[in-house]
Chain A
Amino acid sequence: MALLEVNDLVTEFHTEEGVARALDNVSFTLERGKVLGIVGESGSGKSVTAFSLMNLIDPPGKVAGGQILFDGEELRGASARRWSELRGTRMAMVFQDPMMSLNPVMKIGSQLAETVAIHTKATRADIDERVYQALKRVGIPAPRERMKSYPHELSGGMRQRVAIANAIINNPDLIIADEPTTALDVTIQAQILYEMQNLARESGTALIWITHDISVVKDLADDLCVMYAGRIIERGPVDEVIADPQHPYTRGLIDSLPHAENHGRRLYSIPGATPPLLALPAGCSFAPRCSRAGRICNQIPPVVTDGRRDHRCFHPLG
């Protein structure tokens, strides 16, 4: 049984200008210990996916349909109590801004200790030891001294490591990371990617890594989902999707990345821009920008799968 199975998830936001469907029938599975990359641009719904999976969608938004099966248990509609039991123990989240999970007026040692104390009955000494180990695992130098620091005394990269420590401290089965390194410098990002990879491998934790930068996730992920305007338009093993994309959007995205080989020449660019969620085209949302679009594209493309890879396209590549 897969660790996480998401079926036809729908999340809507009710605004004064209308209902925006941020997620439209999003489906994927994640096995234990595997890493799933979710890639998309702004407005694609990638962050909304993360928040929906953790029941963090607040009104005027709501998860309006579909199933979230975590280890076989349906989470949609679970009680607040059940969510409390799961979040922080078996499921944890890391945000783009570490200050979303850190309390600015508490020492980091106390915060990590709190995460343990709420969910387990452990002695004071045990908790301290676990905090120390967690900080060590994420590569924070001099953990015993650092425990007494406040978040603002740490650099951005350190804060993010503390946020990650907060996520792993109870050995969760699943960590959802929403653009965790986007705001960090290149060298720090590289460190954290490297450490996350090792952490996931060592402890067998499944990881969902959400990013707009496909190059980041290439070495880290086993599988890749590409999202566009609230739908997953392509899914499959990461190397295959990147080397041989089936959906024109994925192809376009990869082709528009700048690198040395196209120095001095114009880059391929997908014409136009992502449609706003409140004014999505009928049918395939990518059709207005697609050079392969035809009459049939004014219907929503269904998911076409061959077992390993799937896509939503009436005129796939390859």
Chain B
Amino acid sequence: MFSSPGLIMTTMLQTTHLSKSFSYKQGSLSRVAGKLGLPAKEQQKVHAVSDVSLSVKSGEVLGLVGESGCGKSTVGRMIAGLLPATSGSLSFNGQDMTRPTVDTHLNIQMVFQNPYASLNPRQRIDRVISEAAVYHGLVEKKQAPAFVASLLAQVGLDPSYASRYPHQFSGGQRQRIAIARALALDPKFVVCDEAVSALDVSVQAQILNLFMDLRASKGLTYLFISHNLAVVEYIADRVAIMYLGRIVELADTRSVFSRPNHPYTQALIADAPRLNAKVVEHRPIQGELPSPLHPPTGCAFHPRCPRAMARCSSERPALVELEDGHWSACHLNDAVNSHPLTFQEMQ
């Protein structure tokens, strides 16, 4: 689906028109009223994710960026088999995995955001790490202690920690344990859902290094979900930007950050505090993130977009490939007589 000059990379994970909506069931009274023809409260539907088509190549790190309500965590959970999709499909190495099965979990694992909540407080670390591997028959019970020790070493922890409980460890150490648990099932694909967001800066660097090392040593592929642009810029090969459930831009990292096309991406990059960025007098984008219950018509970003046209409020722009591998969903790319201002020109 995406062409990349030079290196031939195989697609490992592919989502096609993946969508997820949550509906609030009407109370029985409302349903009765509806049947009687009386005015009743409408069934509310939240489209958390709409029409997301992504492909992740073997060995790459795909960054998934957005603010609250954009649906990035929901996409991550669908890929990891934690949430069934409402529509669309998901395939892994050619095998259809739209309905999560045990195979899903053996190939795709997830590392969660909160190191203080993602470990069972009543389980010893050795059980935390080995339970699923033993259950699925990947490791024999007798071999479990050696297995655990090896994994702990791979994430930089002393093997003697295996007999301890989670509350004895710091946030960074717990996250390492969570990573060891994910590695125990020998996955090829890891979804990192804000995996470093809850960590202190110095610990964050250690864990990012760990991710990099494991990627090299085990040949892992990552979907790296984060709201922190600096982290994504550092670790990702390609980046997808989401807004209110849809992908608005997708390109390799350098292109996204130096030549962002979509006005939302431009705003996000300009607004993100960067230590090295030159001081630019820039007025941040106005407005609030829309509620997923009442999405704007047409392009979801148009109420906040400084370059919105009349067309933007009625027609939703499609995700279109502009140049090799750089996709964007914006009518500005389409307009015949205007050309989208580049990022530098906007300053």
- Per-position contact with A for B67-88: 1 when CB-CB < 8 Å, else 0? 1100000000000000000000
Contact indicator A187/B253 (Cβ below 8 Å): no
Interface size on B, residues (CB 8 A): 43
Known A219-B279, A260-B233; judge A186-B271 contact (CB<8 A). Answer: yes
Known A42-B200, A242-B275, A253-B202; judge A258-B67 contact (CB<8 A). Answer: no
Q: Which residues of A sit under 8 angstroms from B234, Cβ to Cβ?
A: 258-260, 262-263, 267
Known A187-B285, A260-B257, A273-B170; judge A267-B209 contact (CB<8 A). Answer: yes
Contact indicator A257/B227 (Cβ below 8 Å): no
Least Cβ–Cβ distance between B300 and chain A, in angstroms: 14
Choice from A156, A218, A270 contacting B273 with Cβ under 8 Å: A218
Q: Which residues of B sit under 8 angstroms from A252, Cβ to Cβ?
A: 202
Q: In the complex, what residue of chain B is closest to A214 when comparing beta carbons?
A: B275
Contact indicator A41/B212 (Cβ below 8 Å): no
Tell me the residues in window 182-226 of chain A with beta carbons closer than 8 Å to chain B beta carbons: 185-191, 193-194, 212-216, 218-219
In this complex, which of A218, A261, A267, A274 has the most chain B Cβ atoms within 10 angstroms of its Cβ? Answer: A267
- Per-position contact with A for B197-223: 1 when CB-CB < 8 Å, else 0? 000111111101100110000000000
In this complex, which of A189, A216, A218, A273 has the most chain B Cβ atoms within 10 angstroms of its Cβ? Answer: A273
Choice from A42, A212, A253, A258 contacting B235 with Cβ under 8 Å: A258
In this complex, which of B204, B267, B270, B283 has the most chain A Cβ atoms within 10 angstroms of its Cβ? Answer: B204
A261–B233 CA distance with the chains assembled, in angstroms? 9
- Per-position contact with B for A258-285: 1 when CB-CB < 8 Å, else 0? 1111110011111001100000000000
Contact indicator A253/B201 (Cβ below 8 Å): yes
A29–B229 CA distance with the chains assembled, in angstroms? 34
Let me know if A84 is at the binding interface, CB within 8 A.
Answer: no
Tell me the residues in window 90-125 of chain A with beta carbons closer than 8 Å to chain B beta carbons: none
Contact indicator B286/A191 (Cβ below 8 Å): yes
Q: Which residues of A sit under 8 angstroms from B208, Cβ to Cβ?
A: 258, 267
Contact indicator B284/A269 (Cβ below 8 Å): no
Let me know if B172 is at the binding interface, CB within 8 A.
Answer: yes
Contact indicator B201/A256 (Cβ below 8 Å): yes
Known A186-B227, A186-B268, A269-B202; judge A257-B275 contact (CB<8 A). Answer: yes
Choice from A187, A242, A256 contacting B204 with Cβ under 8 Å: A256
Known A158-B288, A266-B212; judge A259-B202 contact (CB<8 A). Answer: no
Q: In the complex, what residue of chain B is closest to A242 when comparing beta carbons?
A: B275
Q: Which residues of A sit under 8 angstroms from B205, Cβ to Cβ?
A: 256-258, 267-270
Q: Which residues of B sit under 8 angstroms from A258, Cβ to Cβ?
A: 204-205, 208, 230-231, 233-235
Let me know if B344 is at the binding interface, CB within 8 A.
Answer: no
Q: In the complex, what residue of chain B is closest to A220 when comparing beta carbons?
A: B273
Let me know if B272 is at the binding interface, CB within 8 A.
Answer: yes
Q: Which residues of A sit under 8 angstroms from B201, Cβ to Cβ?
A: 41, 212-214, 253, 256-257
A187–B263 CA distance with the chains assembled, in angstroms? 13
Q: Which residues of A sit under 8 angstroms from B285, Cβ to Cβ?
A: 187, 190-191
Contact indicator A191/B274 (Cβ below 8 Å): no
Contact indicator A185/B289 (Cβ below 8 Å): yes
Interface size on A, residues (CB 8 A): 41
Choice from A194, A219, A253 contacting B284 with Cβ under 8 Å: A194
Q: In the complex, what residue of chain B is closest to A261 when comparing beta carbons?
A: B276
Q: Which residues of B sit under 8 angstroms from A191, Cβ to Cβ?
A: 284-286
Choice from B172, B271, B276, B289 contacting A189 with Cβ under 8 Å: B271
Let me know if A79 is at the binding interface, CB within 8 A.
Answer: no
Choice from A215, A263, A274 contacting B233 with Cβ under 8 Å: A263
Contact indicator A269/B268 (Cβ below 8 Å): no
Q: Which residues of B sit under 8 angstroms from A291, Cβ to Cβ?
A: none
Let me know if A254 is at the binding interface, CB within 8 A.
Answer: yes
A186–B67 CA distance with the chains assembled, in angstroms? 7
Q: Which residues of A sit under 8 angstroms from B171, Cβ to Cβ?
A: 42
Least Cβ–Cβ distance between B265 and chain A, in angstroms: 11
Known A155-B289, A258-B234, A259-B274; judge A187-B279 contact (CB<8 A). Answer: no
Q: Which residues of A sit under 8 angstroms from B274, Cβ to Cβ?
A: 215, 259
A232–B94 CA distance with the chains assembled, in angstroms? 56
Contact indicator A190/B202 (Cβ below 8 Å): no
Q: In the complex, what residue of chain A is closest to B277 when comparing beta carbons?
A: A215
Contact indicator B275/A263 (Cβ below 8 Å): no
Contact indicator B67/A254 (Cβ below 8 Å): no
Q: Which residues of A sit under 8 angstroms from B227, Cβ to Cβ?
A: 185-186
A130–B205 CA distance with the chains assembled, in angstroms? 46
Least Cβ–Cβ distance between A269 and chain B, in angstroms: 4
Q: In the complex, what residue of chain B is closest to A258 when comparing beta carbons?
A: B234
Known A185-B67, A266-B209, A267-B208; judge A215-B273 contact (CB<8 A). Answer: yes
Q: Which residues of A sit under 8 angstroms from B254, Cβ to Cβ?
A: 260
Least Cβ–Cβ distance between A93 and chain B, in angstroms: 22
Least Cβ–Cβ distance between A225 and chain B, in angstroms: 16
Least Cβ–Cβ distance between A182 and chain B, in angstroms: 11
A214–B212 CA distance with the chains assembled, in angstroms? 24
A240–B273 CA distance with the chains assembled, in angstroms? 18
Contact indicator B202/A41 (Cβ below 8 Å): yes
A215–B273 CA distance with the chains assembled, in angstroms? 5
A-B contact pairs, 13 of them (CB 8 A): A186-B271, A189-B273, A190-B270, A213-B201, A215-B273, A256-B205, A260-B233, A260-B234, A263-B233, A266-B212, A267-B208, A267-B234, A273-B170
Binding site for A on B (CB under 8 A): 67-68, 170-173, 200-206, 208-209, 212-213, 227, 229-231, 233-235, 253-254, 257, 267-268, 270-276, 279, 283-286, 288-289
Task: Knowing that A186-B268, A266-B213, A274-B202 touch, tell me 6 more A-B residue pairs with CB under 8 angstroms.
Answer: A41-B202, A157-B288, A185-B289, A193-B273, A258-B234, A259-B234
Q: Which 4 A-B pairs have the closest CB atoms?
A: A258-B234, A190-B271, A256-B205, A190-B284
